[in-house]
Amino acid sequence: MGIHYFKEDVAFPDLKRRIINAWIKKVIDSEGKICGNLSFIFCSDDYLLEINRKYLNHDYLTDVITFDYVNGNVIEGDIFLSIDRIKENSKEYNTTFKSELERILIHGVLHLLGYKDKSKADKDLMTFKEDIYLNVLNI
């Protein structure tokens, strides 16, 4: 059990893993769940686009894809993150790469916790939760 980090066709981003791990576990605990095995896989746009096409039948770029293996209250899954998309988003939203990476990390975790982002109301709630938990990290 635990949080693991992998990379495919990119370099590992600069992460303080112990701090990030403690933060993610705190978020999961605060939602009344248990942290099981989580894998964060950093990759390129091309790599994630191929996953999007192959497994989800979507033909577009995205910053994160989450595969949910949640079993009851135990939160488990694989979270693929496009470093290319996160860099682009940080420019678009006028924030740092580090801040955008942290937002996308917790966004993937929130999906495993059952939060959705397809409707406006769901997206607003997801962003609200991201902001709360990002503030917890930055205390």
Q: What is the pLDDT of residue 138?
A: 77
CA pair distance 51, 78, nearest whole angstrom? 12
Domain span at 77:
2-137
Tens-level pLDDT at each residue, the chain (139 residues): 799 999 999 999 999 999 999 999 999 999 999 999 999 999 999 999 999 999 999 999 999 999 999 999 999 999 999 999 999 999 999 999 999 999 999 999 999 999 999 999 999 999 999 999 999 987 6
CA pair distance 33, 74, nearest whole angstrom? 6
Query: Structural domain tally of the chain?
Result: 1
Q: What is the pLDDT of residue 49?
A: 97
CATH assignment at residue 110: 3.40.390.30
